[in-house]
């Protein structure tokens, strides 16, 4: 009985599926947030120009920026060192990381990254992604 039932079930499943029944997902309403660049600023780099900010992208970015689970011991987030009130730096001579370890350099400010062409202290990173 099982030998007959399995092929019939598969045939019924295949025949019941049609392209007419497929639903096309509606586009997500995720409006782009316009950038207001002051006069005299340099042009936005190609990476930032290709990745326009959107409502949900900004919300996700804020959540990820404050997420402590990305650290080695779940105790610090990006926002722990990149404080908005201090131009997204921490005003220390040397950064303090996981387990209180002192870094070799200070925490760099991360504002206006959309205008930079190179990243990292020595410029060896060409895009943030």
On whether residue 102 sits in a domain, the answer given is yes
Which pLDDT does position 94 carry in this prediction?
94
On whether residue 70 sits in a domain, the answer given is yes
Which pLDDT does position 82 carry in this prediction?
94
Residue 69: band (very low, low, confident or very high) from pLDDT cuts 50, 70, 90: very high
Domain count, the chain: 1
Which pLDDT does position 74 carry in this prediction?
95
On whether residue 14 sits in a domain, the answer given is no
Does 107 score more than 60 pLDDT? yes
Which residues is 110 bridged to in the sheet?
A: none
On whether residue 19 sits in a domain, the answer given is no
Per-residue pLDDT tens for 22-44? 565 666 799 999 989 999 999 99
Determine the structural domain holding residue 51 and report its residue range: 41-123
On whether residue 3 sits in a domain, the answer given is no
Residue 95: band (very low, low, confident or very high) from pLDDT cuts 50, 70, 90: very high
Which pLDDT does position 126 carry in this prediction?
83
Q: What is the CATH number of the domain that holds 64?
A: 1.10.760.10
Mean pLDDT over the full length of the chain? 84
On whether residue 116 sits in a domain, the answer given is yes
CA distance 29 to 20: 25
Does 70 score more than 70 pLDDT? yes
């Amino acid at each position: 009985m099982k030998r007959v039932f399995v092929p019939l079930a598969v045939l019924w499943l295949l025949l019941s599926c049609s392209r007419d029944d497929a639903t096309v997902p509606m586009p997500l309403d995720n409006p782009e947030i316009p950038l207001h660049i002051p006069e005299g600023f340099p042009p936005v780099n190609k990476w930032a120009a290709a990745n326009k900010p959107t409502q949900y992208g900004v919300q996700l970015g804020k959540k990820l920026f404050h997420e402590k689970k990305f650290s080695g011991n779940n105790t610090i987030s990006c926002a722990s060192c990149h404080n908005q009130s201090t131009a997204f730096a921490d005003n220390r001579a040397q950064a303090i990381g996981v387990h209180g370890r002192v870094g070799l350099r200070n925490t760099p400010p991360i504002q206006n990254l959309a205008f930079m062409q190179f990243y990292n202290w020595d410029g060896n990173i060409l895009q943030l992604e």
